[in-house]
Amino acid sequence: MQQKSSQSRGVLYDKTVPLNKSEKHLINSAHLLLIASRACSSQNKARFFLGGWCVWVCVCVWKMRLFVGLYQLSSLLYLVALAGCEEDYTEDEEMILSLIRQVDSRPVLESGSSAQFLRCTKDAWRIPGQYIVVVRNGTRDNQVERTARRLRVNAARRGYLISILRTYSGAFHGFLVQMSSDVLHMAVKLPHVEYIEEDSSIFAQGSPWNLERIVQTKTGKYKPPSKGGSFPRVYIMDTTIQANHRELAQRVMVTDFNSVPEEDGVRVHRQASQCDSHGTHTAGVVSGRDSGVAPGASVNSVRVLNCQGKGTVSGALAGLEYIRASLQVQPISPVIVLLPFAGGFSRTLNAACREMVRSGAVLIAAAGNYQDDACLYSPASEPEVITVGASNAADQPLTVGTMGTNVGRCVDLFAPGDDIVSASGDCPTCFTAKSGTSQAAAHVAGIAAVLLKENPTARSVEVLHLLRHHAAQQVMNPEALPLEHRLTTPNMVAVVFKSPSARAGEALLCRSVWSKRSGVMSFDTAAAHCLHGEEMFSCSSYSPDGVWAGERIEVRERKECVAHNGVGGQGVYAVARCCMDDRVQCQSFASAHMGTEAKCPSPQHQLTGCCSYFGSGGVADATRPLHGNSKACPARAGATSHASCCQITSSLECRGNEYQPCSLPLSQVEVSCEDSWTLTGCSGASQGSAPHGAYARGNTCIVRPSRGERGVAAVAICCRYPPPQQSSSEPGQEPGRQ
């Protein structure tokens, strides 16, 4: 031991490099760690004590400095505790030595930049002491391992034990660590670490109001389509599922995955019925024999919620990784993953979901039952996930007591979520009614399963557009939505398709994507983006107080619809018009000078939308728009006009619909596209002061004039694929008006 130790010392103490006191102390403790690790792994405690004390005495004598002795004594006392613990330090000593050499070769804690530390904004949902360490993209597995070890070594020096609970190597690379928050400042400075997120709780979003009631009878009038191929596989990340329920018999595959926290409270009830309660109901809504939307679909149960319907972000991440790994071993397509839970906003969970969608799965999540902005919750806030709010029997947003469905721009659509009758975990023939966004999401998962049965190659973005295209439009009373979310919440309720064979490609499918509201400083901006697989056909903006500086399409890392706040404005929204057509490529062309019109450059381009950007920050008068077949966006005094032009490789045709009410001042001016035409661009123009902006809702372009102003026009640009027998549209057709 002595010999080995002095050999190592020869390597570590390079006489040509003067060491300061603290560096020497660090290296001394490195020796001790080495000894301790050897002692622990060999379980030879006597050897450990002897070796440790020998080194201490040697070093004290060598140094002849009391403080070194004190330092070593305290280190040694700590290591005694370390050696007594059950922790198995399996790292070989060379690895530890090399780690310590690396660490000691630079100032350990004072270096460079820190990674970001994130935690749940809802205090009660935090899990302090448990952290998800996410390393940068491209970091190799062995570097992740070394990062974890380095953290362990650094923490040990400060007298902290940490415990690596699991590693992640699917959607992202990193590890879950249990440690004192005192170690965090070291962890954020480790190399390769991109950010650290504190773990937090997630919750089932079904029946949180304790209004369950057992129903005796069941009526099953709904007849699902029987044509087509086989259903996609549906993974349900929930509580356990009662696999022998009559609704689900022989169709549930209970996987061996299980990652849930301990139940809260002293007296924990773990009857199977309780533990199965949420998952069995959800699975019944998706694929129950009588109560399901897609009866016959097979479901795989991935347990991430405990008997109380509670889980953790780290557990959900592990669940997603499990599904990903299963699909790599046994590729199945298409696949639906149902996430009937919500937690606080989690960057990591959103990123893992996004990656899963990009690898080909369709992810459907509950919006959350907190009567709040769904963008504050995960996975509801991830744009690539299909986020479902709950509606009641009257197609209104679900409210129960002081709670209700989450709303806002992160919700993709609503679905029935009130008093939904489905399988109960109480017995294999029991039914029960539950309410919540979990039930709504399960409905949409069922509809998506039917849709994918007919169109097995449809991607997630196509499923989203088809769900919205077939949904019941504008059925919710807008007054039932909170004022700040009234404009941005999609007013549509999913319905089971009467004819699920309707597919993308026959109609041009577009949707409006709202940004969050910009800040209130002059020239603060808001940006809206389309998803992968969508093309941005146009960009508009809306200012609730009518003070804004226009909008334009900018290309940074990706295409953005950017709205600019004006001087003294109270914030603006950007509204991107995103269409599902990968045969089309769109570009924005600015006018040559301020106050001149913007045109598409060639006959191969179709004008799909117009933007105006008032660089001066004021809002100037607009001249009358000149649409029709001119392929030009109107000139505006003091503004740069931008034409969104899409190059067509298919036979897309577009035209403008303009409407200007001639008499009374109105609170809003609307113009719609006719049947079979799809709204791609929406802009407003006025002869007086500029209006509040314009936005598209469904197939209608809405322009709000400021304070009863007259002379405001709404201009819709409508596009379509011409019907097969008709090659082009009649130029003189009357525009649709509303």
Phi, psi (5° rounding) for residue 316?
-65, -40
Burial class (CB in 10 A: 0-12, 13-18, 19+), 246: middle
Q: Are 568 and 522 in contact (CB under 8 A)?
A: yes
Return the range that interacts with Ca ion (CB under 5 A); candidates 23-31, 407-415, 509-517, 722-730: 407-415
Smallest distance, Ca ion to C-beta of residue 503, A? 20
Smallest distance, Ca ion to C-beta of residue 383, A? 5
Q: Which residue has the tokens 């022998």?
A: 244
Return the range that interacts with Ca ion (CB under 5 A); candidates 76-84, 410-418, 634-642, 687-695: 410-418
Smallest distance, Ca ion to C-beta of residue 412, A? 5
Position closest to Ca ion via CB: 412
Smallest distance, Ca ion to C-beta of residue 490, A? 10
Whose Cβ is closer to Ca ion: residue 489's or residue 565's?
A: 489
Smallest distance, Ca ion to C-beta of residue 463, A? 11
> With contacts defined by CB under 5 A, how many residues of the chain interact with Ca ion?
3
Q: Which residue has the tokens 């226009």?
A: 550
Return the range that interacts with Ca ion (CB under 5 A); candidates 173-181, 302-310, 408-416, 443-451: 408-416
Smallest distance, Ca ion to C-beta of residue 530, A? 11
Catalytic hit among 438, 512, 515, 644: 438
Whose Cβ is closer to Ca ion: residue 177's or residue 487's?
A: 487
Coil/strand/helix, residue 551:
strand
Return the range that interacts with Ca ion (CB under 5 A); candidates 29-37, 302-310, 332-340, 409-417: 409-417
Question: Which residues is 565 bridged to in the sheet?
Answer: 548
Residue 276 within binding range of Ca ion, rule CB under 5 A: no
Has 465 been annotated as catalytic?
Answer: no
Interface of this chain with Ca ion, residues 598 to 627, rule: CB under 5 A: none
* Interface with Ca ion (CB under 5 A), residue from 198, 238, 321, 412: 412
Element (H, E) at 565: strand 559-565
Coil/strand/helix, residue 204:
strand
Coil/strand/helix, residue 491:
coil
Residues in contact with Ca ion, shown as a per-residue x/- string from 360 to 389 under the rule CB under 5 A: -----------------------x---x--
In this structure, what token pair is assigned to residue 592?
Answer: 């040559």
Has 238 been annotated as catalytic?
Answer: yes
Q: Are 720 and 727 in contact (CB under 8 A)?
A: no
Q: How many CB atoms lie within 10 A of CB 191?
A: 16
User: One-letter amino acid identity for 368?
Assistant: G
User: What is the C-alpha to C-alpha distance for residues 315 and 569, in angstroms, rounded to an integer?
Assistant: 44
Phi, psi (5° rounding) for residue 418?
-115, 125
In this structure, what token pair is assigned to residue 641?
Answer: 């006009």
Q: Are 550 and 569 in contact (CB under 8 A)?
A: no
In this structure, what token pair is assigned to residue 251?
Answer: 């169709």
Coil/strand/helix, residue 31:
helix
Phi, psi (5° rounding) for residue 151?
-60, -40
Interface of this chain with Ca ion, residues 386 to 405, rule: CB under 5 A: 387
Whose Cβ is closer to Ca ion: residue 383's or residue 617's?
A: 383
Whose Cβ is closer to Ca ion: residue 224's or residue 533's?
A: 533
Question: If phi over 0 gives left and psi between -120 and 50 gives alpha, with beta otherwise, what is residue 115?
Answer: beta
User: What is the C-alpha to C-alpha distance for residues 397 and 59, in angstroms, rounded to an integer?
Assistant: 73
* Nearest residue to 457 via CA among 423, 497, 505, 409: 505
Smallest distance, Ca ion to C-beta of residue 464, A? 7
Smallest distance, Ca ion to C-beta of residue 201, A? 23
In the chain, the largest separation of any two C-alpha atoms, in whole Å, equals: 102
Return the range that interacts with Ca ion (CB under 5 A); candidates 37-45, 269-277, 305-313, 411-419: 411-419
Q: What angle do CA 154, 351, 576 make, to 5 degrees?
A: 140
Smallest distance, Ca ion to C-beta of residue 309, A? 24
Whose Cβ is closer to Ca ion: residue 303's or residue 465's?
A: 465
**Does the N-terminal peptide bond of residue 340 adopt cis geometry, omega within 30 degrees of 0?**
no
Whose Cβ is closer to Ca ion: residue 133's or residue 386's?
A: 386
* Nearest residue to 101 via CA among 11, 193, 6, 2: 11
Whose Cβ is closer to Ca ion: residue 373's or residue 412's?
A: 412
Whose Cβ is closer to Ca ion: residue 247's or residue 412's?
A: 412
Smallest distance, Ca ion to C-beta of residue 411, A? 8
Interface of this chain with Ca ion, residues 189 to 248, rule: CB under 5 A: none
Catalytic hit among 31, 173, 192, 278: 278
Coil/strand/helix, residue 686:
strand
User: One-letter amino acid identity for 261?
Assistant: P
User: What is the C-alpha to C-alpha distance for residues 258 and 260, in angstroms, rounded to an integer?
Assistant: 6
Q: Name the pairing type of β-strands 492-493 and 173-178.
A: unpaired
Whose Cβ is closer to Ca ion: residue 100's or residue 579's?
A: 579
User: What is the C-alpha to C-alpha distance for residues 457 and 655, in angstroms, rounded to an integer?
Assistant: 32
Whose Cβ is closer to Ca ion: residue 426's or residue 535's?
A: 535
Has 314 been annotated as catalytic?
Answer: no
Whose Cβ is closer to Ca ion: residue 199's or residue 412's?
A: 412
User: What is the C-alpha to C-alpha distance for residues 313 and 328, in angstroms, rounded to an integer?
Assistant: 23
Which residues are CB-contacts of 644 (< 8 A; sequence separation ≥ 6)? 536, 537, 538, 539, 553, 586, 587, 588, 607, 608, 609, 610, 611, 681
User: What is the C-alpha to C-alpha distance for residues 388 and 439, in angstroms, rounded to an integer?
Assistant: 9
Phi, psi (5° rounding) for residue 22?
-65, -35
- How does DSSP classify residue 516? P
Question: Which residues is 168 bridged to in the sheet?
Answer: 174
Whose Cβ is closer to Ca ion: residue 389's or residue 693's?
A: 389
Whose Cβ is closer to Ca ion: residue 412's or residue 597's?
A: 412
CA-based torsion, 66, 71, 75, 78: positive or negative: positive
Smallest distance, Ca ion to C-beta of residue 314, A? 23
Element (H, E) at 74: helix 66-84
Smallest distance, Ca ion to C-beta of residue 170, A? 21
Catalytic hit among 37, 173, 200, 238: 238
Burial class (CB in 10 A: 0-12, 13-18, 19+), 710: middle
Smallest distance, Ca ion to C-beta of residue 270, A? 35
In this structure, what token pair is assigned to residue 484?
Answer: 């700040």
Interface residue list for Ca ion (CB under 5 A): 383, 387, 412
- Residues noted as catalytic: 238, 278, 438
